[in-house]
């Protein structure tokens, strides 16, 4: 790996590029600012992307900041080890399609990851700028998005070649990023691949969870249609374990399975009044709006529009919900979070965008009870203040209740976004499958093979709620693991 | 796509549909339901599988017009396609030989009751079924229910057919008359509530099948949550049947009204568009 990176770095064009601008000058270039729709306008549109993407000039300039380090620490920060300097330098020299190809050597969905990766915790956190220069890092995520978008919009997107069919049939269960990455690799290796999805749309959280203002559906659809062109079959409205059992599928010739059924089970807080009308999980709220288009009157699915909407939680799901509430016309759209802004697990950019959009942050505060009108519709919530105590197992400081600090907030819609649990559907159908105490499927970390040899698993069903890029990485490792297994190695 | 093979109109508001769905026809059991979406703009609604023909690869649905989607569905013709149909969902009814089973069906609840009655009869039970509705033309599936019941009692609110009175009147008569070992109640939430109160008085184990509002039907959204024995459960994966004596029916009824305003508006829009 190190050798390979070195070799690539010594290619003539890169040596030449490095010589063109002095490192000192590179270090003085200001980090690019992502052009975005202005906040007062964008809160009127549920489906217009906030980030508009870099122009060619901006991208090239930003790429110049990267010093093509001897020891590119950025790569260590990326869960799938994208060859970051190689793709960035390709942008610097104007070879945008080459840059996109570099991304695709390791990432199945660069246009998606460029948009949704928590870069500030991953690649950009370990960029030379961050670590050594104490300056803002190279905008790796923006550049990744630029290259992937450029390729897609150029119409020069090539469908990767696939090996001749080897006559073996495999199935992926769920159609989120883990399965899509898995399917892409397996089809290239010559397998017949079917992806089974319980919902009527392919994409998992990318479709039903993450809103259009962060990740337009059309970007996911292009990737899906590429997979289809390569021969991947998608079966919608098909719940493996219910519509057909694993045994049925085996009888139909499927020789191995990749389970990526996600962490779809919403958690509630089990506090009094939580089942009143108007209180719903972020999954329900986002599914109604994103999957069922409930905010558009031409569609039949309803969604509650509140004046005072409180969203409980501080993760990406909470940010997506509260910004959706704003877009659906809430006068007051609030985040209620029990720790402080620093501990929020959401992407920093989303928190920042939410602030710009006028979202109210009520931090160090936790709900304890809900109250309703005589029709059972929530109208008030009781909260209590918290302060931060000692760090807990996750390393974050534990919130501690401040006694006697309760007060009430008027609300008419409450979205609970306090986390999800692994989807129990598949494990409940397979009693012999080994699962952890938390309900996640146990696998070998290298091969992603479960306690049942023909069954592999990855993504949130293994990790219990992680990220798109980790799910994708799992899908690719599982493909390699399964290939090995099926070839009898 | 799932083709509608046959349509049978039971009454002005209730229609039976036979739909092509070979996989589901094979894997479904009594108590299971499906979720369907008619077209691109449609919402997802749950309907019980009232029966299936494995050989023909079809399932039977019985739908009552209550809002936009159910009305559109009831107006579909043989040859029309339902865009999305997924299932079987929910837990199957626990069926065993217990002795005498009292099955109470209210309104369109008779449709989900049918396969359960059939199951209990086939398991060797004596089955007494009560069919209840507001009036005669709302009594459905009478012949099919008779085929699998030892006795059928019909109750109508207005006395236009069978006996006049509520389902509970008929049920209490049976309970007083003979030993009842288990009761099943399916129908509108109020009907299940009062049936449950009655059987609780006589300490007869009772199952009710809940019609909570649903979105995905796979345990992902929590829209269908109900309180059972003080705990929150999801109707789509933990149910739809629960121990009736533990169910908080009042909460269920409030929750069913959650989108009433939105639904009413949608229905008015729909009528205007149809009449235009
Ligand atoms: C609102 C929201 C915002 C997020 N934002 C970010 C972000 O900004 N950045 C980031 O990196 N991560 C984000 N995440 C997390 C990320 O989306 C997940 O980690 C990732 O999608 C997990 O991928 P997966 O492939 O494991 O499964 P999922 O994407 O969860 O997909 C699983 C699919 O499996 C289907 N399924 C389940 N059981 C069955 C079955 N038995 N048969 C058939 N199909 C089945 C489900 O219907 C679902 O479509 C976010 C998550 C949410 C909910
Ligand atoms: C597990 C399950 C099985 C079901 N089986 C059947 C069946 O076999 N046949 C059948 O006709 N119906 C059945 N239902 C009810 C059916 O799903 C609803 O009638 C349907 O969703 C209404 O949709 P709509 O768009 O036509 O009406 P909407 O416009 O959504 O609603 C119109 C009115 O109906 C009420 N309503 C909404 N949803 C429900 C609901 N789920 N149950 C009761 N009232 C509701 C609303 O409060 C509103 O007042 C079942 C429900 C569940 C949960
Ligand atoms: S995939 Fe994510 S972590 Fe890796 S380089 Fe791209 S943005 Fe960074
Ligand atoms: S660490 Fe930063 S500057 Fe160095 S190669 Fe990576 S992106 Fe470029
Ligand atoms: S319908 Fe979504 S969890 Fe039951």
Chain-chain contact of B225 with A244 (C-beta, under 8 angstroms): no
Q: Are residues B24 and B142 in the same domain?
A: no
CATH number of the CATH domain containing B40 = 2.40.30.10
B118 and B193 both lie in a single domain: yes
* Percent composition of chain A: helix, strand, coil (DSSP 3-state, to 5): 40, 20, 45
- pLDDT, tens only, B1-34: 899 999 999 888 889 999 999 999 999 998 999 9
What is the distance in A from the centroid of ligand 1 to the CA of A107?
Answer: 17
Nearest to B26 by CA among A254, A428, A248: A248
pLDDT of amino acid A155: 82
**CATH code at A2-38+45-154:** 1.10.1060.10
Q: Which pLDDT score, from 0 to 100, does residue A455 have?
A: 97
Output the domain CATH number for residue B195: 3.40.50.80
Nearest to A270 by CA among B100, B243, B31, B233: B233
> Which CATH code of 3.50.50.60, 3.40.640.10, 1.10.3210.10, 3.20.20.105 fits the domain covering A266-419?
3.50.50.60
Chain B's closest residue to A421, CA to CA, is B220
* Residue A75 confidence (pLDDT): 95
- Among B36, B66, B89, identify where a domain stops: B89
Q: What is the mean pLDDT of chain B?
A: 91
Ligand number nearest to the C-alpha of A208: 1
Residue B51 CB less than 6 A away from ligand 2 = no
Cross-chain Cβ contact B43/A292 below 8 Å:
yes
- Interchain CB contact of B81 with A (< 8 Å): no
Of all ligands present, the nearest one to the C-alpha of B241 is 2
Q: Any binding-site annotation on B74?
A: no
Q: Is B166 on the interface with A (CB under 8 A)?
A: no
Q: What pLDDT, on the 0 to 100 scale, is given for residue A2?
A: 83
Chain A residue numbers touching B219 (CB-CB < 8 A): 264-265, 423-425
For B44, nearest residue in chain A (alpha carbons): A301
Q: What is the ipTM of this complex?
A: 0.92
Within a domain: B214:
yes
Name the minimum distance, in Å, from the CA of B260 to any CA of chain A.
Answer: 10
State whether B116 and B240 are in the same domain: yes
B230 and B155 both lie in a single domain:
yes
Are A169-264+422-486 and A266-419 the same fold in CATH? Answer: yes
Identify the domain boundary among B61, B89, B117. B89
For the segment B177-235, what is each residue's pLDDT rounded down to a tens digit? 999 999 999 999 999 999 999 999 999 999 999 999 999 999 999 999 999 999 999 99
A 217-236: CB under 8 A from B: 236
Pairing of strands B58-64, B51-53: antiparallel
pLDDT at position A219: 93
In this model, does residue B244 exceed pLDDT 70?
yes
Domain hosting B124: range is 100-256
Q: Which residue of B has its CA nearest to A287?
A: B221
Is the pLDDT at B276 greater than 80, yes or no? Answer: no
Asked whether the beta carbons of residue A274 and residue B232 sit closer than 8 angstroms, the reply is: yes
Does B54 touch chain A if contact means CB atoms closer than 8 Å?
no
Q: What are the residue ranges spanned by the domains of chain A?
A: 2-38+45-154, 169-264+422-486, 266-419
Residue A266 sits at the chain B interface (C-beta within 8 Å) = yes
Instruction: Flag whether B264 is in a domain.
Output: no
Domain co-membership, B243 together with B116: yes
b vs e for B208-225, b when ≥16 Cβ sit within 10 Å of the residue's Cβ?
A: bbbbbbbbbbbbbbbbbb
Regions of chain A where pLDDT drops below 50? none
Whether B83 and B161 share a structural domain = no
In chain A, which residues have their Cβ closer than 8 Å to the Cβ of B266? 300, 302
| CA separation for the pair B248, B175 (Å, rounded) | 24
B104 annotated ligand binder: no
- How many beta-carbon pairs under 8 angstroms link A with B? 121
In terms of DSSP bridges, do strands A360-362 and B45-48 run parallel, antiparallel, or are they unpaired? unpaired
Domain A169-264+422-486 part of CATH 3.40.50.2020: no
Centroid of ligand 5 to alpha carbon of A404 (angstroms): 37
Q: Is residue B271 part of a domain?
A: no
Residue B62 counted as an annotated binding residue? yes
Residue B224 labeled ligand binder = yes
If asked whether residues B239 and B128 sit together in one domain, one would say yes
Tens-digit pLDDT profile for residues A310-368: 999 999 999 999 999 999 999 999 999 999 999 999 999 999 999 999 999 999 999 99
By most ligand atoms within 8 Å of CB, the mutation choice from A79, A111, A124, A176 for ligand 1 is: A176
Q: Are residues B139 and B221 in the same domain?
A: yes
Cβ of B212 closer than 6 Å to ligand 5, yes or no, is no
Which of A267, A302, A304, A375 best tests the B interface by mutation, with the highest count of B CBs <10 A?
Answer: A302
| Residue A335 contacts residue A322 (beta carbons within 8 Å) | yes
The model's pTM: 0.93
A243 and B257 within 8 Å at the Cβ level: the answer is no
């Amino acid at each position: 790996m190190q050798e390979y990176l070195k070799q690539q770095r010594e290619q003539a064009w890169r040596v030449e590029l490095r010589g063109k601008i002095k490192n000192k000058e590179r270090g003085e270039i200001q980090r690019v600012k992502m052009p975005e729709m202005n906040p007062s306008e964008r809160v009127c549109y549920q489906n217009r992307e906030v980030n508009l993407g870099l122009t060619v000039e901006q991208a090239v300039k930003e790429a110049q900041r990267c010093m093509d380090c001897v020891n590119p620490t950025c790569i260590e920060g990326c869960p799938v080890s994208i060859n970051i300097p190689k793709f960035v330098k390709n942008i610097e020299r104007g070879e945008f399609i080459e840059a996109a190809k570099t991304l695709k050597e390791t990432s199945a969905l660069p246009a998606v990851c460029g948009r949704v990766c928590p870069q500030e915790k991953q690649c950009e956190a370990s960029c030379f700028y961050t670590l050594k220069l104490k300056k803002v890092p190279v905008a790796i995520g923006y550049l990744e998005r630029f290259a992937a978008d450029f390729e897609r919009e150029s119409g020069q997107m090539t469908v990767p070649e696939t090996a001749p069919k080897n006559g073996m049939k495999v199935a992926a269960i769920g159609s989120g990023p883990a399965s899509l990455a898995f399917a892409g690799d397996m089809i290239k290796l010559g397998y017949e691949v079917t992806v089974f999805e319980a919902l009527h749309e392919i994409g998992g959280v990318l479709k039903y969870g993450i809103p259009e203002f962060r990740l337009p559906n059309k970007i996911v659809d292009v990737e899906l249609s590429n997979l289809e062109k390569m021969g991947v079959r998608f079966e919608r409205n098909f719940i493996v374990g219910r519509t057909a059992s694993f045994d049925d599928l085996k009888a139909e010739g499927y020789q191995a399975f990749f389970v990526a059924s996600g962490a779809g089970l919403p958690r509630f807080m089990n506090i009094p009044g939580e089942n009143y009308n108007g209180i719903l999980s972020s999954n329900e709220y986002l599914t109604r709006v994103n999957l069922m288009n409930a905010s558009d009157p031409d569609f039949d699915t309803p969604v509650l529009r509140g004046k005072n909407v409180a969203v409980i939680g501080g993760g990406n799901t909470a940010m997506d919900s509260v910004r959706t509430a704003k877009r659906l016309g809430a006068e007051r759209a609030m985040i209620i979070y029990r720790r402080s802004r620093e501990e929020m697990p959401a992407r920093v950019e989303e928190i920042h965008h939410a602030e710009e959009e006028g979202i109210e942050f009520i931090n160090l505060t936790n709900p304890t009870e809900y109250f309703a009108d005589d029709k059972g519709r929530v109208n008030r919530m009781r909260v209590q203040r918290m302060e931060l105590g000692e760090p807990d197992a996750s390393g974050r400081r534990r919130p501690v209740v401040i006694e006697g600090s309760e007060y009430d907030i008027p609300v008419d819609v409450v979205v609970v976004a306090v986390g999800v649990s692994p989807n129990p559907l598949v494990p409940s159908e397979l009693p012999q499958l080994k699962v952890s105490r938390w309900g996640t499927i146990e696998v070998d970390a290298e091969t992603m093979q479960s306690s049942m040899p023909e069954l592999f698993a990855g993504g949130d069903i293994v990790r219990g709620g992680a990220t798109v890029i980790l799910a994708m990485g799992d899908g690719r490792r599982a493909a390699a693991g399964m290939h090995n297994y099926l070839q009898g190695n | 796509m799932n083709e509608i093979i046959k349509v049978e109109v039971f009454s002005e508001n209730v229609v039976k549909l036979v739909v092509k769905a070979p996989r589901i026809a094979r894997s479904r059991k009594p108590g299971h339901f499906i979720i369907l979406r008619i077209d691109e703009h449609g919402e997802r609604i749950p309907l019980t599988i009232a029966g299936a023909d494995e050989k023909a690869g079809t399932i039977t649905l019985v739908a009552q017009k209550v809002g936009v989607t159910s009305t559109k569905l009831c107006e579909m013709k043989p040859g029309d396609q339902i865009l999305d149909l997924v299932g079987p969902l929910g837990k199957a009814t626990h069926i065993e030989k217990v002795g005498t089973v009292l099955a109470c069906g209210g309104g369109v609840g008779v449709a989900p009751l049918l396969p359960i009655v059939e199951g209990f009869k086939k398991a060797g039970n004596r089955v007494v079924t009560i069919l209840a509705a507001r009036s005669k033309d709302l009594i459905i599936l009478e012949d099919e229910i008779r085929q699998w019941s030892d006795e059928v009692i019909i109750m109508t609110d207005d006395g236009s057919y069978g006996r006049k009175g509520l389902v509970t009147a008929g049920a209490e008569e049976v309970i007083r008359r003979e030993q009842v070992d288990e009761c099943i109640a399916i129908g509108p939430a109020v009907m299940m509530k009062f049936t449950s109160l009655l059987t609780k008085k006589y300490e007869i184990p009772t199952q009710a099948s809940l019609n909570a509002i649903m979105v995905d039907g796979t345990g992902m959204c929590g829209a269908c949550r109900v309180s059972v024995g003080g705990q929150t459960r999801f109707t789509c994966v933990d149910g739809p049947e629960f121990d009736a004596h533990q169910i908080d029916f009042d909460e269920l009824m409030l929750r069913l009204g959650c989108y009433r305003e939105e639904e009413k508006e949608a229905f008015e829009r729909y009528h205007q568009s149809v009449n235009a």
